[in-house]
Chain A
């Protein structure tokens, strides 16, 4: 083992000279029901800021991949779209997808960065692949700067109460990072763009240790919480699932907003856990965030304090949420919210 090391390092150095051509990012393009996830579009924007080539990667079941590739090719900023289709890739199980990524990122690969959204799927896959290649990873970045060989990132730590600036030095052959989507604009489609597409043979995994049983997604006609421009969020003060619904839905309707929830509301069963906003839930940064009956614990603020305008309605004038709210109303939400809905409707 010890003897091998110098040889491996020598290989690394040589490649360093050979690939001085500039950064080349591989962006994981996640998709659901034929649509590229907005988080991946933000990751693409982050990848472009590296200032080099950008290759997208679409992995999935054969019946999905073709349509997604067509859409991906029209994305601004993508030079190449790689795609790999296999029945095995239908649910992006990390144990099954990792070998494909490991192959793409082998010693002779041109990629200097691997970029993805900070989504639940990518969070599961990227660190696994990075470790197998003996590389570190950087999670949930909010900005980046590339200077030719090293990349410097900023990322929130301690639930967003501090910002760390970290540098992945030249010695890190491939820099893995996930992107906080609210910190980067989604890359748009451009009719003029036409990236080249290349198929990649899937790497079949015989007898994988993990099998997908099923996925239950919460169905909703509302905008997606992670990318909505307006969010109406409820906390423990909403009492139960019925009042949570009956109070917040009319307001969300009249504002065209997504619905979110505090951990307290989710734990108490008022709302589905996919609606949780905070350090352990979704991070949102909409134009408008309305916190209804939410006290504003550190962990909740971590998920929404980058919103452009924060409005709080709370009975308790001492609630910490008022320290970050642009507009605070100390009132009983059961009176204030229906009145707000009525008056907004009159304006519509």
Chain B
């Protein structure tokens, strides 16, 4: 058993509970934030991350030893962990913060994740996480975690092939203007792009089974991390409203409008 044990992969998937992507958000009149009494779900990029971890196990079978999901959030974030467990993760860790606490910043989250990784007895070989959360749109946590751990990083991944034997991964990334292929040594942080996979729907039996999977609750203090934001959010406002200019009847009127705006065809 021993010699092969070193090749087993332990995967960690951080997930975030965010306002559902289809919700049209409203800014609160006090300009302190947006109305959060709306439908929430798992950040879409994180769903892709969980799916990818589960697919890796389907492909590599026993070579994936564990898939752990972790979230930082108020009590309700436990639902997000259950969703991830229903997709196929084995166990969850909930770093619980009070409902009223300000949203942690990527640096704080990355430090908490570092603390989680350092607590894992078997270590973590691969972190798969979303490339950005659709609420704060920061897109920093994965890179920050890789930096703190001094690990390899592969951002905006659209394809991931892991070889547990060589402890290497081939990753295709979506970059400005095209695609880039990297070869990364594990341990590695991968951040997912939309095109990495199509997440499955959790089936009812799996949702039932997920209720029995263990979720460990801890606090930021247990991890020795401070999640207090460093940046001060002064206000949150509505973006300038765009007023639709109405419709035209036909192509000629459309061209007239273009001309009015000074847009003319180019000479070929």
Q: Which residues of A contact B (CB under 8 A)?
A: 32, 91, 93-95, 98, 119-121, 123-132, 134-140, 152, 155-169, 171-172, 209-218, 226, 230, 253-256, 263, 266-267, 272-274, 279-280, 282, 287-288, 298-299, 305, 308-311, 313, 317, 322-331, 336, 339-340, 343-345, 347-348
Contacts and interface: CB of A to CB of B under 8 A. Distances in A.
B177 interface: yes
B42 to A, nearest CB: 16
Interface residues of B, number: 83
A121 B175 contact: yes
20 contacts: A93-B182, A127-B141, A139-B139, A158-B19, A159-B134, A161-B24, A164-B233, A164-B236, A166-B231, A209-B188, A210-B154, A213-B170, A213-B182, A256-B266, A274-B178, A288-B258, A298-B22, A323-B242, A329-B251, A347-B255
Interface in B172-213: 173-185, 188, 193-195
B263 interface: yes
B100 interface: no
Contacts of A272: 178
A309 B257 CA distance: 10
A212 B106 contact: no
**Residue from the set B22, B137, B238 with the largest chain A CB neighbour count within 10 Å:** B137
B152 interface: yes
Interface in B15-51: 19, 21-22, 24-25, 27, 34
Contacts of A326: 244-245, 257
Contacts of A215: 175, 178-181
Which has the most chain A C-beta neighbours within 10 Å: B170, B177, B188? B177
Nearest to B153: A94
A235 B21 CA distance: 19
Contacts of B257: 311, 326-327
A78 to B, nearest CB: 23
Contacts of B101: none
B195 A344 contact: no
B254 A327 contact: yes
Given A212-B182, A345-B265, A131 B138 contact: no
Contacts of A119: 176
B267 A131 contact: no
B176 A348 contact: no
B248 to A, nearest CB: 5
Interface stretch (B53-61, B82-90, B116-124, B142-150): B142-150
Contact of A165 (B183, B237, B253, B267): B237
Contacts of B244: 322-326, 328
Contact of B174 (A120, A308, A331): A120
Given A137-B138, A313-B254, A347-B265, 18 more contacts: A119-B176, A124-B153, A127-B106, A136-B106, A137-B144, A139-B138, A139-B139, A167-B232, A209-B152, A213-B183, A214-B180, A254-B268, A274-B177, A310-B242, A327-B248, A328-B248, A329-B247, A336-B251
A135 B204 CA distance: 44
A3 to B, nearest CB: 16
Contacts of A313: 254
Nearest to B231: A166
Nearest to B261: A309
B136 interface: yes
B58 to A, nearest CB: 23
Given A169-B232, A287-B263, A124 B143 contact: yes
B105 interface: yes
B177 A299 contact: no
A123 B147 contact: no
Given A209-B184, A211-B183, A162 B238 contact: yes
Contacts of B247: 317, 322, 327-330
A136 B105 contact: yes
Interface in B211-235: 230-235
Given A127-B140, A156-B137, A159-B137, A216 B251 contact: no
Contact of B234 (A152, A214, A230, A330): A152
